[in-house]
Chains A and B, each alone.
Chain A
């Protein structure tokens, strides 16, 4: 059913029940996301896509559009909230962009640029996070994990459907875990899938890094904003 909603004061005609992130992109409005993967179940873990719907702050990826909805994306307070969220993520972990192999194709970094982050307003924590190298092909660099849980939900053992990644602990002691036995059974293209869906440089393939020269990395070629909007261009 065709409906009408309003995004930042502009009327938008669309189909009822569409995902707000996609609907906004279709009408040329970029909402940054970190854990959202189109065509996969919504996780809602990162909250980077927070917008105001009918005056209330909600993650856009969890919203299915209904008729008459009033959406504010680039309203200053909400935009700053998203920026603060991204800043928290940076200062919580150890995000050493200068030497990270994911730099240039990292979603967190690209979103950082789009929200205009220069520095985190929060104290930099420098937590001690130990990497996991038990599996043969995957190096788990916990320094960079933002707990989006894409890997937990979407990377499953092909035979049994069991989870290969999981979160142990809670709060500041939470950490991402990998089952080395199941990980060693992952075929090469699934390893690459895990590397690709990790929005940061936590899941990296052992001994592979910097194969894309600067200038040819994912977001060097096209920014995350342009990619998001283009995906929906008519």
Chain B
């Protein structure tokens, strides 16, 4: 724990090299998308990359701002589309999801975790206090003779009692089921949105597993 006499600065607030104005101008004309993985396994983000060759043509029409794949750590300007992977499992997830809701016109719950909690939500059926011992106190690799320590620090977020689907925290506009959804399913929804069509996921692309 640090004292109250510290000044905290985030790296993304520090002076940084500016993007080449020509590149920036080209990107500014495109539809802006931001992406995040909350309590997810990153699988839906990777499934997005599985659009393979279509990625280059897609990135002609959209540009990605905040995303774990870019180095942009906060949403810098309003986005048309927010791609949300993962459910809500800690207080930081809640803050981040709200930040996305405030800064994106449309939010999409991508994958089982965002839609209903997914595999991490299996902890909803287990008593939170019982799990404490399992990982950190009664672990078979616990250091012999050491005082059991359970992580608790201002730098790490507090867990929510249950894992929540995203739409139980903020309004979500579209849902793409799957674990992960296929690249084709993700592409179809993006394609509908960027071409101004009503979003329509055909039965053949809807998979819950």
Establish whether A and B are touching in the complex (CB under 8 Å). Answer: yes
What residues of chain A have their CB less than 8 Å away from a CB belonging to chain B? 90-91, 94-100, 103-104, 109, 112-114, 116-120, 123-124, 126-129, 223
Main secondary structure of the interface of B (DSSP, over half): mixed
Q: Name the one of A118, A123, A127 contacting B168, with C-beta atoms under 8 angstroms.
A: A123
Asked whether B125 lies within 8 Å of A126 as measured between CB atoms, the reply is yes
Tell me the bound Cα distance from A35 to B125 in angstroms: 27
Q: Name the one of A91, A104, A120, A126 contacting B124, with C-beta atoms under 8 angstroms.
A: A126
Q: Name the one of A90, A96, A118 contacting B119, with C-beta atoms under 8 angstroms.
A: A96
What residues of chain B have their CB less than 8 Å away from a CB belonging to chain A? 109, 112, 115-119, 121-122, 124-125, 162, 165, 167-168, 174-177, 179, 201, 203, 206-209
Task: Write the nearest CB–CB distance from B109 to chain A, whole angstroms.
Answer: 7
Q: Name the one of B119, B121, B162, B167 contacting A99, with C-beta atoms under 8 angstroms.
A: B119
Asked whether A119 lies within 8 Å of B112 as measured between CB atoms, the reply is no
Tell me the bound Cα distance from A118 to B165 in angstroms: 13
Asked whether A109 lies within 8 Å of B125 as measured between CB atoms, the reply is no
Asked whether B116 lies within 8 Å of A119 as measured between CB atoms, the reply is yes
Q: Name the one of A109, A113, A119 contacting B175, with C-beta atoms under 8 angstroms.
A: A119
Asked whether A118 lies within 8 Å of B209 as measured between CB atoms, the reply is no
Task: Write the nearest CB–CB distance from B40 to chain A, whole angstroms.
Answer: 12
Asked whether A100 lies within 8 Å of B203 as measured between CB atoms, the reply is no
Asked whether A98 lies within 8 Å of B119 as measured between CB atoms, the reply is yes
Asked whether A98 lies within 8 Å of B112 as measured between CB atoms, the reply is yes
Closest 5 CB pairs of A and B: A97-B208, A126-B124, A98-B179, A118-B175, A97-B209
